[in-house]
Amino acid sequence: MSPEIANAAMTCLADGARSLVAMYTNTALTLNACEVAAKSYASRTDNLFLSTTAQIPEEFRLPVELDVTFSRHELSERYSAEVAQCICEDFLIRLISLLDGILEDLLAVVTSLNEPAISEIEVARRVRAAWIQEPNGHVKLVNYLLSMGLKPPSGKKSTVEMVFDRYYEMREVRHALIHNAGNLSNKHLKRLKELSERLPVELRDGSLASAEFLAKGRVVLNLQEILSFRFWAYSTVLGYLRAAFKGSIVCEQ
């Protein structure tokens, strides 16, 4: 792989890493607001009730408006549990969407440099097809990077394929959140099991197939989980790939 291609890829990944760090900021502030609200309502002694629809302007009210009202005790419980859970789910959904975008940008950059004669239309077509699975069990994006000579970083046990297998697992979890209300269908469970079994036996603890937050057949997230995903995305995905591109440079003699 030429230094030009590798350096362009590393720049793309570094930009993506900065975007990832920035994305978490609003999540952290929102979770903090939940904690403050939960403690505030718990410490009050009045008979407060809060309506979720009372402040909607008349022009935006539904013909039949369902008023949902919570007591201060219920509000404290909601902010501590369901609301915080929704924020964590939203973070995971946006995290995977962000990583998809970073990897698609990466594909566009390296394709244009690797194939100088390629048209913008063809690059866009390949980006749209990036996540189509091919006969070897990996998606077009991964197979293209491997065909260019992308190698595992020196000293790492995980191969490029293993790292992307973990990413496919995260995309399955995201799919369950978006399309199945967080419930893992038989199809999700089967796919997670298949991906886990592609790992060497001694490394299968690193798979999500047996992750505690999926243990009851549904995605149940908390702050610790999303901090783990944030670290994983920054280090195990983006950091690994930066090191892989750096180590794959072949200088022309």
Is the predicted pLDDT of residue 253 greater than 70, yes or no?
no
Is the predicted pLDDT of residue 31 greater than 90, yes or no?
yes
pLDDT at position 122 is 96
Number of folded domains in the chain?
Answer: 1
Confidence (pTM):
0.89
Q: Sign (positive/negative) of CA torsion 147, 151, 157, 163? A: negative
Provide mean pLDDT across the span 47-69.
88
pLDDT at position 244 is 95
Is the predicted pLDDT of residue 192 greater than 70, yes or no?
yes
Residue 212 has what DSSP assignment?
G
Give tens-digit pLDDT for 61-112.
888 888 889 998 999 999 988 899 999 999 999 999 999 999 999 999 999 9
* Dist CA 136 CA 123 (whole Å): 22
Residue 169, C-beta contacts closer than 8 angstroms, at least 6 positions apart: 192, 195, 196, 207, 208, 209
Task: Give the residue numbers spanning the domain of 78.
Answer: 3-247
Question: Is 253 a member of any domain?
Answer: no
pLDDT band at 206 (very low <50, low <70, confident <90, very high): confident
Angle in degrees, CA 94, 9, 21, rounded to 5? 35
Give tens-digit pLDDT for 122-174.
999 999 999 999 999 999 999 999 999 999 998 888 899 999 999 999 999 99
Is the predicted pLDDT of residue 252 greater than 60, yes or no?
no
In our burial notation (b when 16+ CB lie closer than 10 A, e otherwise), range 107-116 reads: bbbbbbbbee
pLDDT at position 185 is 93
Is residue 106 packed enough to be buried (19+ CB in 10 Å), middle (13-18) or exposed (0-12)?
buried
pLDDT at position 157 is 85
Question: Is 200 a member of any domain?
Answer: yes
* Dist CA 189 CA 216 (whole Å): 11
pLDDT at position 95 is 95
* Dist CA 13 CA 15 (whole Å): 5
Provide mean pLDDT across the span 212-234.
90
